[in-house]
């Protein structure tokens, strides 16, 4: 595939993922944003959704390219959250896609200033025994980017206090999967919390699951 064809495909896939977020009800008021690592012009960079555009209006050519040196190529402004997408790519070279949403259940938990603990084995989908909570910082700031990158050093997802959810993956499909799973786990956790504080799995139980998930990942590779 030529570079141009590969970029067309990447743009189409990203728009399809935004539409899916919308269909899942996770792109509340067009607040969701999504990026794909996309080196170009001799540097690392990303293709990211533009700010303030609804999923219905979004076309592949509307995605904005942002370089590692902060240069911007496109007809629109990149999402106001682009700084933390860039910070994640810089921190985790193996990650190639980042999804951010204000989905209801993850955001509700983040508004309680609670991380998602190991109350269910699937919490390991984010790569550890919790989905950490990043303290509140104003959106679009350096402080928020720094805190997100810090939280994502050893996890593929984190909650942003009084804000929402960030999930990432080696592929767009994987990032979407982690995002959906964490949102669903937050829903179950809130249901359980309404009755009592759920008991947590031990670090040892979670370590077994994390190891299994890693070996499934290896088996799935060609």
Residues 164-203 that bind Zn ion (CB under 5 A): 164
Site map 84..113 versus Zn ion, x via CB under 5 A? ------------------------------
Indicate the residue among 45 and 164 with the shorter CB distance to Zn ion.
Answer: 164
Give ∠ CA 33-20-188 in degrees, rounded to 5: 85
CB 83 within 8 A of CB 140: yes
Q: Which residue is nearest to Zn ion (CB)?
A: 164
Q: What is the Cα–Cα distance from 182 to 186, expressed in whole angstroms?
A: 6
Q: Is 202 helix (H, G, I), strand (E, B) or coil?
A: coil
Indicate the residue among 7 and 30 with the shorter CB distance to Zn ion.
Answer: 30
Stretch that binds Zn ion, among 3-11, 85-93, 143-151, 163-171 (CB under 5 A): 163-171
The secondary element (H helix, E strand) that includes residue 208 is helix 203-220
Least distance (Å) between residue 128 CB and Zn ion: 23
Q: What is the Cα–Cα distance from 163 to 181, expressed in whole angstroms?
A: 18
Size of the site for Zn ion (CB under 5 A): 1
Stretch that binds Zn ion, among 63-71, 142-150, 160-168, 192-200 (CB under 5 A): 160-168
The secondary element (H helix, E strand) that includes residue 133 is strand 133-134
Q: What is the Cα–Cα distance from 67 to 136, expressed in whole angstroms?
A: 27
Give ∠ CA 169-127-181 in degrees, rounded to 5: 65
Residues carrying an active site annotation: 81
Least distance (Å) between residue 44 CB and Zn ion: 23
Stretch that binds Zn ion, among 3-11, 90-98, 162-170, 191-199 (CB under 5 A): 162-170
Residues making contact with Zn ion (CB under 5 A): 164
């Amino acid at each position: 595939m030529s570079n141009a064809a590969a970029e067309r495909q990447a743009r189409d896939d990203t728009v399809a993922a935004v539409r899916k977020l919308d269909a899942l009800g996770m792109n509340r008021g067009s607040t969701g944003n999504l990026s794909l690592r996309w080196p170009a012009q001799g540097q690392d960079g990303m293709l990211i959704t533009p700010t303030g555009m609804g999923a219905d209006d979004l076309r592949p050519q509307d995605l904005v390219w942002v370089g590692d040196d902060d240069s911007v190529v496109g007809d629109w402004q990149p999402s106001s959250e682009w700084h933390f997408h860039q910070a994640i790519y810089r921190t985790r070279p193996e990650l190639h896609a980042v999804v951010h949403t204000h989905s209801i259940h993850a955001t509700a938990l983040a508004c309680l200033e609670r991380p998602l603990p190991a109350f269910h084995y699937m919490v390991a989908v984010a790569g550890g025994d919790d989905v950490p909570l990043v303290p509140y910082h104003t959106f679009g700031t350096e402080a928020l980017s720094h805190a997100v990158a810090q939280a994502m050093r050893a996890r593929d997802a984190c909650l942003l206090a009084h804000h929402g959810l960030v999930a990432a993956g080696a592929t767009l499909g994987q990032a979407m999967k982690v995002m959906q799973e964490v949102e669903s786990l937050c829903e179950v956790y809130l249901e359980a919390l309404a009755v009592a504080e759920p008991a947590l799995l031990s670090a040892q139980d979670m370590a077994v699951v994390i190891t299994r998930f890693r070996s499934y990942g290896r088996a799935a590779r060609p």
